[in-house]
Chains A and B, each alone.
Chain A
Amino acid sequence: MNFDWHYFVNAFPELVKYIPMTLLLAILSMLLAIVLGGIITLLHFSHYKVIHWFASIYVSFFRGMPALVQLFLIYYGLPQIFPIFKGLPAIIATIIGLGFKQSAYLSEVFRAAVNSVDRGQIEAGQSLNIKSYKIFRYVILPQAFINALPATGNTFVGLLKETSLAFTLGITEVFAEGKMLAGDSFKYFETYLAVGLTYWALIILYSWAQSGVEKVLNTPYS
């Protein structure tokens, strides 16, 4: 077997240097996705049909297009139509592109989480004459948060891997570094295996942290 163990092991320190960039892209995109996803969820629950439709179209649009197309649209396409976007940093374009896309998925996660809160909880609040927004803030939201946590975590896992698309905009993160290492050494298998294992390790660490958080937050319900 023509597997260069020495090269394989030494690829990790090179890749690890770019983990901060991968995490930066993933975390900031996720924060944007959570904020936008939350807003779209609220719009979904609007009694005004136009607002409801807007939310539905938003979700359909951003879910229905490959992430790469969205990144290219934002980074290469927008400056052509709107000159104000000329010189938009690739990092910002990536965060916006991935954030918008994942917000569409997250809004569906949040909507399901809110809908899965027992209707009796709302009725109890109403019967106690508590205002609707307070019922939402103090009763529904905390319970929906717990319901949404596993699926939101899955979205983050997906996002973490999707940051590898950022190399197409010229950002050097874990995958881009791997691509360059492989190009230099022609040791594709060793390099991409090291890249894959680096992502896997990040996701194992994240999953472990998430299950710890879930355990603590589930205390009231167990």
Chain B
Amino acid sequence: MSLIEVKDLSVEIKQKKILQEINFSVEKGEVTVLVGPSGSGKTTLLRTLNLLQKPSQGIIKIGETSVDVSKINKKSTRSLRSESTMVFQQFNLFKNMTVIENVMAPLLLNKLAKWDEAHDIAKSVLLEVGLAEFQDKYPSSLSGGQQQRVSIARAIAVKPSVVLLDEPTSALDPELVGSVLKTILALAKQHITMVIVTHEMEFARLIGNQIIFLENGKIVHKGSPDKILSSDGPKRVSDFMNSVSTNNYL
């Protein structure tokens, strides 16, 4: 059974259909990459999986939690959110906390670990993303790339079923992109399930087990990178790839 199953998911904002009857599944340990032009609904889809965006209809199942969004309440929201964490384009690290406090925060505030254990976990994930020596710094003193790696560390510290990454490199200077992409690749090698929105097409090809191409709030193409992103793949995807710059930061 798939780790994530999304059925007939729709999002409507002010009577405008942002997502229409989205259906897809993600296998455990695999990486799904959402691509598509601006305004196609990629970020909305990702935010909806974490219920930061309220859907209007459909069913979202992540891990053991299945939520019919028409019957959503506080309890089911928390239950679904316990399955995933999110990495934001603008990092969104807690500005009033040091790096290690940021990573410890979800563990302590959700009572997932006692202080000592949370500290050990935080140290180990910061080591994993190569930022152990920055643990006592505040986010404002770090580069964008470092902040994003802390944000990734914070997201994996709670060992979620899935990590959702919303354009994790879009806000970064080009020279900082590589370090973040390498960190995400390292997570993929550990078979951490991820859903990623990105415009880095080479990265998508390299990391993705499944590519989902969205346009106008609908899934237009779905399949393996070889099928979707190859030169003889769908014409619409090829056109899109030609329109975006393909940098290889890895």
Contacts and interface: CB of A to CB of B under 8 A. Distances in A.
Interface string B148-163: 0000001100100000
A123 B84 CA distance: 13
B239 to A, nearest CB: 33
Most chain A beta carbons < 10 A, residue from B94, B140, B155: B94
Given A120-B90, A139-B94, A139-B96, A126 B52 contact: yes
B78 interface: yes
Interface stretch (A22-30, A87-95, A129-137): A129-137
Interface of B: 50, 52, 78, 81-82, 84-86, 88, 90, 92-98, 105-106, 109-110, 138-140, 154-155, 158, 164
A127 B81 contact: yes
B52 A128 contact: no
A145 to B, nearest CB: 9
Interface residues of A, number: 22
Given A120-B90, A123-B88, A127-B81, A221 B110 contact: no
A219 B90 CA distance: 21
Given A134-B109, A138-B109, A220-B140, A128 B95 contact: no
A129 B110 contact: yes
Contacts of A128: 81, 85-86, 105-106, 109-110, 154-155, 158
B94 A121 contact: yes
Contacts of A126: 50, 52, 81
Interface of A: 118, 120-121, 123-131, 134, 138-139, 142-143, 146, 219-222
Contacts of A138: 94, 105, 109
Contacts of B109: 128, 130-131, 134, 138
B88 A143 contact: no
For the complex of A and B, the 5 pairs showing the least CB-CB separation, nearest first, are A124-B92, A127-B86, A128-B106, A120-B92, A129-B81
17 contacts: A118-B92, A118-B95, A123-B86, A124-B88, A124-B94, A126-B52, A127-B88, A127-B164, A128-B105, A129-B78, A131-B109, A138-B105, A139-B96, A220-B95, A220-B98, A220-B140, A221-B140
